[in-house]
């Protein structure tokens, strides 16, 4: 009894409570790790969680994500918290080597030390996996990590997020998440020739280095961004991957599935409020003087192909026959200034996100094996120009072939 009393007294004076790092700390770290979508990047399909090896295609070659399990030989088991914080905040690993910005440390630098510590505590609790890291296959001179010194001097400024004193707590929380842990700008922003985010066009859309998909404009542009989205539509899209404005596809489907569906209601509302508060970026599409026909004209190029291959699910008028198929009218993917994602969906098909709210996602079959480049372009142009007055750019067959 005396030994137990002494132990309790020591715990009291050192500020340690029973279960302190098994409930609140563990849950917070797991939540933040999900918000950062760490598992998705650091897990190769079919392999153990966080054991690395997933290839990230870049214009400079392939980067393979590292093992971040607490294995002492091949993971981060020998790292200290100071090592981990330096990697997250400064983009420098435990050996002092510069990390490539495929790891979004230019976003993670915004994180508070407390949040980085919670993530660190959670990662130390996962199952250690002995798996050696795969060497990157970058072209010279990008394979020289020392070249990152110049890149960092030009494009990286280590800092911690500072709340805007003129903004509400909700907007500041949204800014912290979007700019930091959720690293939305890493995909949804254009990059320059050196792979750095063009901050003057932040969140105005960019090509994702994953299978060639395009991350659309998520600023309040009324024709090419989220300007026509309601807060509820955005909330539905982020949490379930579905809304009346379209479905999450390609890499965004995976983000919803592994990360965004786990956002708390308050964090979800904060992200939505923040992106809706931003200034609009990107081009605004011209609007036709005459309204499109209410019913399809089968003399229009692509109409017959659409009727044969698409109308069974999406309806002759673009209104889906069932609520589990996306409407094509007023659909953000269909009407995007950049048509890449629409063409990829026609070619490859795909599944919607599987979430707790929508556990059995519906799929679209691929048509690339049966349709020529010219036929894909005709269908895409038909759905883009037939029901909406926005004058979206026409798609040429030559734009289809590289996406196959």
Tens-digit pLDDT profile for residues 183-239: 999 999 999 988 899 999 999 999 876 667 899 999 999 888 999 899 999 999 999
Specify the range with the lowest mean pLDDT, choosing from 150-159, 231-240, 331-340: 331-340
231 in Cβ contact with 272 (< 8 Å)? yes
Specify the range with the lowest mean pLDDT, choosing from 66-70, 297-301, 399-403: 297-301
pLDDT tens sequence across 338-382:
899 999 999 999 888 988 888 888 889 999 999 999 999 999 999
pLDDT tens sequence across 20-32:
344 677 889 999 9
pLDDT tens sequence across 246-282:
889 889 999 999 999 999 999 999 999 999 999 999 8
364 in Cβ contact with 345 (< 8 Å)? yes
> Does 3 score more than 50 pLDDT?
no
> Whole-angstrom Cα distance, residue 85 to residue 119?
10
Angle at CA of residue 288, ends 285 and 289, nearest 5° = 140
pTM, whole model, 2 decimals? 0.88
* Confidence bin at 143 (pLDDT 50/70/90): confident
Peptide bond before residue 286 is cis, with ω within 30 degrees of 0: no
Sign of the torsion formed by the C-alpha atoms of 173, 174, 179 and 180: positive
Residue 392: which H helix or E strand, with range?
Answer: none
């Amino acid at each position: 009894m005396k030994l137990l009393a002494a132990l309790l007294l020591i715990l009291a004076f050192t500020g340690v409570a029973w279960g302190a790092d098994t409930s609140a700390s563990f849950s917070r770290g797991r939540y933040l790790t999900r918000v950062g979508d760490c598992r998705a990047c650091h897990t190769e399909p079919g392999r153990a969680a966080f054991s690395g090896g997933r290839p990230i295609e870049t214009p400079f070659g392939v980067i393979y994500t590292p093992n971040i399990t607490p294995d002492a030989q091949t993971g981060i088991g020998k790292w200290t918290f100071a090592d981990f914080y330096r990697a997250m905040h400064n983009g420098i690993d435990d050996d002092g080597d510069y990390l490539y910005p495929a790891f979004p440390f230019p976003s993670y630098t915004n994180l508070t030390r407390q949040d980085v510590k919670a993530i660190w505590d959670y990662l130390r609790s996962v199952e250690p996996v002995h798996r050696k890291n795969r060497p990157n296959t970058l072209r010279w001179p990008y394979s020289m990590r020392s070249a990152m010194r110049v890149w960092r001097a030009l494009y990286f400024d280590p800092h911690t997020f500072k709340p805007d004193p003129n903004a509400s707590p909700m907007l500041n929380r949204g800014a912290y998440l979007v700019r930091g842990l959720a690293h939305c700008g890493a995909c949804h922003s254009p990059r320059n020739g050196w792979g750095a985010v063009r901050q003057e066009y932040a969140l105005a859309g960019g090509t994702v280095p994953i299978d060639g998909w395009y991350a659309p404009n998520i600023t309040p542009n009324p024709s090419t961004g989220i300007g026509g989205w309601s807060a509820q539509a955005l909330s539905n899209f982020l949490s379930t991957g579905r809304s009346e404005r379209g479905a999450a596809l390609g890499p965004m489907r995976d983000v919803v599935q592994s990360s965004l569906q786990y956002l708390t209601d308050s964090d979800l509302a904060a992200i939505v409020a923040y992106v809706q508060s931003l200034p609009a970026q990107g081009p605004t599409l011209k609007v036709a003087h005459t309204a499109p026909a209410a019913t399809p004209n089968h003399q229009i190029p692509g109409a017959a192909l659409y009727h044969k291959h698409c109308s069974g699910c999406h309806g002759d008028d673009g209104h889906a026959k069932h609520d589990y198929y996306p409407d094509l009218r007023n659909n953000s993917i269909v009407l995007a200034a950049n048509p890449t994602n629409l063409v990829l969906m026609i070619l490859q098909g795909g599944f919607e996100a599987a979430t707790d709210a929508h556990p059995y996602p519906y799929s679209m079959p691929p048509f690339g094996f049966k349709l020529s480049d010219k036929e894909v372009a005709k269908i895409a142009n038909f759905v883009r120009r037939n029901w909406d007055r926005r004058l979206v750019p026409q798609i040429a067959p030559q734009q289809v072939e590289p996406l196959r």
